[in-house]
Amino acid sequence: MSALAIVAFFVALLAIILIHEFGHYLLARRFGFRVLEYFVGFGPKLWSFRRGEIEYGLKAIPAGGYVKIAGMNPFENDVPPGDEDRAYGAKPVRQRALVILAGPLSHFLVAAIIFSALLMTTGETDRTRVSVISDVPAELGSGRPSPAAAAGLRPGDVITRVGDLVAPTPAEIGPYVAQHAHEAIPVQVQRGTQIVNLTVTPVVLQAGTDQQSVRLGIELGPQPLGFFPAVAGGVADLAKYTRVSIVQIGHAFGPQGVVRVFHLLFEGAPRNQGDVASVVGVSQQVGAIGATGNWAAFFWVFAYVTLFIGIITWSRCHRSTVGTSRSCSSRRRGGGRSTCGRSCRCPPPSCCSSDSS
């Protein structure tokens, strides 16, 4: 397990908090709210400084962060004299809602940027159109000699033909090989400026079992995408993993998920891959990934965790914004005051002040 990867993961989580709160902060400043504090952490104050009218700093417990806006806490009279028109409750509902939702939305933006950057720098096999051999192990997992190594295939070879397939993609090679087990398949590759023709005979591993597979003995590496395809792919990944996360959240907090957690906690049931994991559990997985040196996978996990937290905080803030906006509207029609934020708040302070925990 890589200690460096675990430390990097927790530093990345701290970065998520900073970015999340910066989303609140940026729009609050843009709309002219009176921002009082911008802190990372909770509990006793460790360090701070003041720039202009805002205090920035760090607190002892790095389990979240907050942006404090004047008039947001109904139990605290913290609106400076003369700033009543800049208090939270004095601003239009639309601006208040955007300030609240800016934090969760920053998670979606960061996740999309990371997904796109990974596609630009390392690529993804499923999106790769060119089949480039990244590795040719001498032996397969069962200890059998690799057919590809015996035939003379090398890392860096670009596969231009496999049997009847011309310029096959990585997604096409696997199914074709599976249909031609124990058959001699002509393979043409480009090696530098040369065209090399070889013959490879796939072998069957673990025949007759659920783990049966047909292998040539090559690994195909992903190729980096261009800027615009990478951005499009990053947005597509964002949409895909958002749907996956919503399904997982529904499962985790549904009846079956609650029962499953009970079995794990109190009955010592063995964990499955799809079980809910705590921050400690995720950090252990990240450490295992870091031990392999696969930093692309590390950043993918970080992007997914960032997105997952964004969905959780979005659902909290969205419900608060919608519900309290209706309450404020009805109270205004009934004559309720909303000049300094003491009689009408949309949404409540719990969302903006601590939703990065």
Q: Which of 160-169, 226-235, 241-250 has the lowest mean pLDDT?
A: 241-250
pTM as predicted: 0.70
Beta-sheet pairing, 131-135 with 54-69: unpaired
The sign of the dihedral angle between the CA atoms of 48, 35, 317, 305 is negative
Peptide bond before 347: cis, by omega within 30 degrees of 0? Answer: yes
Has 267 been annotated as catalytic? no
Q: Is the pLDDT of residue 213 over 60?
A: yes
Q: Is the pLDDT of residue 185 over 70?
A: yes
Q: Tally Cβ neighbours within 10 Å of residue 19.
A: 16
Q: Roughly what angle, to the nearest 10 degrees, separates helices 295-333 and 227-253?
A: 70
Predicted local distance difference test score (pLDDT) of residue 74: 81
Q: Is the pLDDT of residue 32 over 60?
A: yes
Q: Looking at 21, 37, 53, 219, which residue is catalytic?
A: 21
Q: What is the pLDDT of residues 64-106, one digit of tens each?
A: 889 999 998 888 889 999 999 999 999 999 999 999 999 999 9
Q: Is the pLDDT of residue 265 over 80?
A: no
CB of 131 within 8 A of CB of 170? yes
Predicted local distance difference test score (pLDDT) of residue 337: 39
Predicted local distance difference test score (pLDDT) of residue 16: 85
Q: Is the pLDDT of residue 340 over 50?
A: no
Average pLDDT over the chain, rounded to whole?
A: 80
